[in-house]
Amino acid sequence: MEPLRLFDTLSRQLKPFSPVVPGTVGVYTCGPTVYDYAHIGNLRAYVFADILRRVLEYNGYQVRHVMNITDVGHMTSDSDDGEDKMVAGARRERKSPEELAAMYTGAFFADLALLNIKTPHVVCRATDHVPEMIAVTRRLLELGHAYEIGDGIYFDISTFPSYGSLARLDLQGQQAGARVEVNREKRHPADFALWRRADPSHLMQWDSPWGKGYPGWHVECSAMGMKYLGDRIDIHTGGIDHVPVHHENEVAQSDAFAGHRVVQLWMHNEFLLVDGGRMAKSLDNFYTLTQLTERGYHPLSYRYFCLNAHYRSKLNFTWETLAGAQTALERLWGRVAQLAGDNGPRVESLEAELRQRFQAAVNDDLGTPQAMAVLWEVVRKEVPSGSAALLLSEFEAVLGLDLDRAPARRVGSTGEVPLEVKELVAERARARKARNWPLADALRRRIEELGFVVSDTPDGTTVQPAR
RNA sequence: GGCGACAUAGCCAAGUGGUAAGGCAGCGGUCUGCAAAACCGCUAUCCCCGGUUCGAAUCCGGGUGUCGCCUCCA
């Protein structure tokens, strides 16, 4: 089997993977801030993390996957000013922060399930771990890595010499061009909040050694990551946008706290673009998975779409491409249905070769595009049916495209067909029986004008809404 | 203004020195009363210019363009 190599954000290199404890892997994934619905760009990050987990499992590792749910502390600006996104969201929707979090957490996991993303073994909410965050903050104060000012406790990056190495920040340059500081008490513009004091009207606050307040955003991942995975975490994943601020700060906190490097390997997925540019609410291209399904697309079509590109490449979403992914996926499902439980002929040497190429692809930094090419070879080329059935079920463990769930399904809804259409279909059936082809064709056109498609298959005639 | 990434067929996207994966669309064919589905086959010399090399999409330099982040402005 090809050795597993993964790209490390810190060194910007492919590294042979080797866990701290042989045979087991701890993975921490930065989860969502649950103040709104996840959009498909967010979801790409979780498809990526899921593929990582599945590839690790495919390689025989026992994986422990942890993901946080941010329900407090994430400010509307990365520079610690602005408002807590949860508080702002709660006001926007006239709900309590708890209600807001419950609602969007539920929606988030519903999306993950539809995308065949395995639920992490541990899902932890920030608000359930305030004592742990306070403990980390207290320790950082004791160690001299943090200081207290008027509005809270801040991490002192001058005490962490390698600060900036993850994102390769040029602190000198940044300092030279420093903007006007909102908080003049901070010793360095890049110092960040561990704990913020809150005035009595603030919606979310907890008791702490420093008075009532709430935790800074970054500290939750340090506290929960170490709680559930120990102070040597094999892999930490997240979107590439988290590198410069969130993860840079997390490294500083965690490593300063533990006295050594905590995260062994940082992995980040690139952004999803829409129509060649950034997703933005103002551009009306801020799609959710629900919107995709409302347009008649199967959620797994989006997963297929993601797998077709490498996780470290920007991926351009267009409706045309999604439609292409859906067509391809439907064809795969059709083939799977034919092969289900096939005990037909096998050629083991061919199986071994295809399996080897698939493994080499996914083990080379999660090369899903190449893996998909191998999949299509299994499906298309002259691979004996027994071998194809076997390989498909093996590959499914990594790809998660429902290739093991025969019989085939059609995506198009089989929903209500109007009586008018049903009557036309019946009339057409009589015309066909009478071999009155001109009438049958005319009826087909009438049915199509009403938005439905008739298909004559070996199993009979079917009607479906046109897409 | 600074930093970084990218530029491969109509669309999406692999490939990082040895002569262009895969999917969708399109075209041709088989099948079908017709159509659909399915299946088979076909379709690119890699943004431009220069350089290195026996050989470059792949390396170097210069352009152009796109995207992202930061900053500034507002």
pLDDT means over runs of 10, chain A (467 residues) = 86 89 95 90 93 96 95 70 79 87 94 95 94 94 92 88 77 47 72 88 89 89 94 92 84 92 91 81 78 90 93 89 92 83 82 92 93 91 84 94 67 62 85 85 83 75 71
The per-residue pLDDT for A260 is: 93
Asked, for residue A409, whether it belongs to a domain, the answer is: no
- Domain co-membership, A259 together with A389: no
Asked, for residue A442, whether it belongs to a domain, the answer is: yes
- Domain co-membership, A228 together with A304: no
Asked whether the beta carbons of A38 and A108 are under 8 A apart, the reply is yes
Domain finish residue from A269, A287, A313:
A269
Asked, for residue A412, whether it belongs to a domain, the answer is: no
Nearest CA to A195 among A228, A148, A260? A148
A57-62 long-range contacts, CB within 8 A, separation 24+: A57/A397, A58/A359, A58/A362, A58/A397, A58/A398, A59/A1, A59/A4, A59/A363, A60/A23, A61/A19, A61/A23, A61/A24, A61/A25, A62/A23, A62/A24, A62/A25
- Domain co-membership, A363 together with A423: no
Asked, for residue A406, whether it belongs to a domain, the answer is: no
Asked whether the beta carbons of A461 and A455 are under 8 A apart, the reply is yes
Domain finish residue from A236, A269, A302:
A269
- Domain co-membership, A252 together with A285: no
Asked whether the beta carbons of A139 and A222 are under 8 A apart, the reply is no
Distance CA A116 to C1' B38 in A:
27
Nearest CA to A467 among A415, A428, A425, A419? A415
- Domain co-membership, A24 together with A115: yes
The reply to whether A405 has its C-beta less than 7 Å from any atom of strand B is no
The reply to whether A176 has its C-beta less than 7 Å from any atom of strand B is no
Asked, for residue A444, whether it belongs to a domain, the answer is: yes
The reply to whether A369 has its C-beta less than 7 Å from any atom of strand B is yes
- Domain co-membership, A229 together with A293: no
SS3 call for A139: helix
Distance CA A316 to C1' B44 in A:
20
The per-residue pLDDT for A372 is: 94
Nearest CA to A279 among A315, A250, A233? A315
Distance CA A8 to C1' B43 in A:
39
- Domain co-membership, A350 together with A452: no
- Domain co-membership, A73 together with A102: yes
The per-residue pLDDT for A176 is: 40
The per-residue pLDDT for A281 is: 64
Q: Which chain B nucleotides are covered by protein, judged by CB under 7 A?
A: 2-3, 5-6, 10-15, 21-25, 32-41, 66-73
- Domain co-membership, A458 together with A326: no
Domain, as residue range, for A388: 274-399
Nearest CA to A89 among A101, A78, A106? A101
Q: Exposed (0-12), middle (13-18) or buried (19+): which is A357, by Cβ within 10 Å?
A: middle
Distance CA A329 to C1' B25 in A:
15
Minimum-distance nucleotide, CA of A331 to C1': B38
Nearest CA to A292 among A318, A328, A327, A313? A318
- Domain co-membership, A181 together with A66: yes
- Domain co-membership, A137 together with A169: yes
| CA A391/CA A351 separation, integer angstroms | 7
- Domain co-membership, A13 together with A138: yes
The number of distinct structural domains making up chain A is 3
Helix (H) or strand (E) holding A60: none
- Note the Cα A376 to chain centre separation in Å: 24
| CA A439/CA A430 separation, integer angstroms | 10
The reply to whether A131 has its C-beta less than 7 Å from any atom of strand B is no
Distance CA A117 to C1' B62 in A:
46
SS3 call for A119: coil
Distance CA A327 to C1' B29 in A:
21
Nearest CA to A387 among A333, A356, A343? A343
Handedness of CA A389, A351, A306, A228 (dihedral sign): positive
Q: Which chain A residues in 250-269 sit with Cβ < 7 A of strand B?
A: none
Q: Which chain A residues in 66-85 sit with Cβ < 7 A of strand B?
A: 78-79
Asked, for residue A411, whether it belongs to a domain, the answer is: no
Tokens standing for A371?
């893996």
| CA A410/CA A414 separation, integer angstroms | 9
The reply to whether A277 has its C-beta less than 7 Å from any atom of strand B is yes
Residue that is written with structure tokens 């490449």 in the block = A313
Q: Give the number of residues written for chain A.
A: 467
DSSP A179-217: PPPS-TT-SSTT-EEEEEE--TT-SS-B--TTSSEEE-T
Contacts of A152 (CB under 8 A, 6+ apart): A193, A194, A195, A196, A197, A210, A213, A216
Asked, for residue A263, whether it belongs to a domain, the answer is: yes
Domain finish residue from A351, A371, A399:
A399
Q: What is the CATH number of the domain that holds A352?
A: 1.10.730.10
The reply to whether A175 has its C-beta less than 7 Å from any atom of strand B is no
- Note the Cα A316 to chain centre separation in Å: 16
- In this prediction the ipTM stands at 0.89
The reply to whether A309 has its C-beta less than 7 Å from any atom of strand B is yes
Asked, for residue A372, whether it belongs to a domain, the answer is: yes
The per-residue pLDDT for A25 is: 97
